[in-house]
Structure formats: C-alpha cells, structure tokens
Amino acid sequence: MELGTIVFYRKKKEFDSVLEHMKVKPQALSIDDDLFKDFYGYDRQALFHVLYQTDNMWGFVASKINRKNGTKAWKVINADNKVSIIEDSGIYFALTMDDFAYTHWAEMEDEKKIKKSPHGALVMKKPSTSSIRKAKAVKTSFFAPEKMLYQIVSLTKGHPQYPASNPFNSQWDKYAPFQPTQNPYADIYKSMRTNPPQSNKPSPAYSKWMPDWSSNSTFHAVPFFRDNIKPTTFSIMRKVQTPANDLRMFINFPDGIPLNLT
C-alpha cells in the first residue's frame, strides 16, 4: 500500500455501526459511485467522508515492515498523530485519497529534515490560497525524527506568500523556505515521468504536470495531521471481507438487489 493510505484496523464494531446507521451493506461499499447513488439515494463518497471523520478507527500508512517469517506489518499515524505498528492481517478496510486539500505546511531544512526552532518546535506556516494552488506534489515521505508523514510539495518559481495576519506566519517569519541549489528529487521526477502510477485517477504523490526544476524552486512539507488534511474523493484500496454469495447481488441483479433496509 502507498504511503498515506487510510487503513481501518480498530473498532470494527463502530465501523459496522456506522454502516448499519447509514443502512448500507458492507459489500455495497465496493460498487461504483453511480450505482451506489441510484440505489441508496446519496453519494458513496459522502459515506467515505463519514468514515474518515470517525477517526478513531483508522490511521495513515507511514511505512511497511517486512517480518522474517514473511508476514507484513505497517507503521501508521494513529488518531493521536503518533506512530503505531499494526499487522496487515488486522486491516479490515482501506481507502486511498484521490486528492486532498490542506491549510498548513512545514518549512524544510533539507530534503530529509524539517526546520525547527531553538526550542524544538516545528516551523509551521499557513501559505496563501494562491501559493497552495500553485504548489505541485513531489512525493510522500515519512520523516523518522518527527515520526510524521509528509507530502512534499514544490513551487517551481518559488516565492510562497504568507499572510502576515496569521500568527504562525508572523511567529516564524525569519525562517526561509528550503531552496536548494540543486534538485534534491531529480531521480524521483524522472521516475514519475517515465513510470506513472497504473491508475485512472491522479494521486497526491504524483501529477502529470510535475514541475520542471528551476533554481527558484522551493520545497515544503505538508504534515498528515488530521485537522490539516482534507480529502476530496476516495477510492477503495482494500475491500471489506464479505461472503461470496452476498457479492453476487451487486453483480448479476437477476431479480433486482435483494436488500432489506428496514
């Protein structure tokens, strides 16, 4: 699974309770948006947003752990923005974000390090809407010192705008953005251009309009804090396990969809 995937691994009863409250069968999560709306009368994406907002059930994938016995585990950023280790077998559902919005980013010291104040605080700023709109995704990275997942973004022409009215911006005004003299992500840029992801939808970690390198480029790190990342749409990465007999009702429809919603 890609970094940033939303994996549901806790409180399965609460997950089932949300579906029951929304009168949705687990297998219906896997049908497409149009068919879901035709049957239930509301967008499937709305249900995904409800699940996302019930944030004690899931975590962001931060890195993969390969065990010597062949089993897999994952480091995830949990509801407390801390790192937890979970077994792959414990994941009962997973979503990817097709795209997301954000409001803040951290300034970078270099390609592997976040800037910090003398007291150890992260240098966080709130860029202008136009700066966010111009920023292009580069890669998603887990920074071990901070134990946090970041989406690295770039402004090709640099010069991000920081409204002085925001307290973060005035507090960290003297901290300049990371503006390297050489492209620190040259290999990644080349790989993304020649090996785009096999998907019909763009992901936050890749864009077909990946910016060209320029000496004015600045780089910034968007933290995967839950109050900072605002997903727009989701796709299913791992389906809920359901009996095969239940799945055929959404595939063949020989007599209509035999669901009892009462």
Binned at pLDDT 50, 70 and 90, residue 189 comes out as: low
Instruction: Look up the pTM and report it.
Output: 0.83
Q: Could you read off the pLDDT of 44-75 as tens digits, one per residue?
A: 999 999 999 998 999 999 999 988 888 899 99
Question: Percentage of residues in the chain with pLDDT exceeding 90?
Answer: 56
* Three-state helix/strand/coil letters over the chain: CCCCCEEECCCHHHHHHHHHHCCCCHHHHHCCHHHHHHHHCCCHHHHHHHHHHCCCCEEEEEEEEECCCCCEEEEEECCCCCEEEEEHHHCCEEEEEEEEECCCEEEEEECCEECECCCCCECEECCCHHHHHHCEEEEEEEECCCCEEEEEEEECCCCCCCCCCCHHHHHCCCCCCECCCCCCCHHHHHHHHHCCCCCCCCCCCCCCCCCCCCCCCEEEEEECCCCCCEEEEEEEEECCCCCHHHHHHHCCCECECCCCCC
Q: How far apart are CA 64 and CA 61, in angstroms?
A: 8
Q: Looking at residue 243, what is its pLDDT?
A: 57
Average pLDDT, the chain: 84
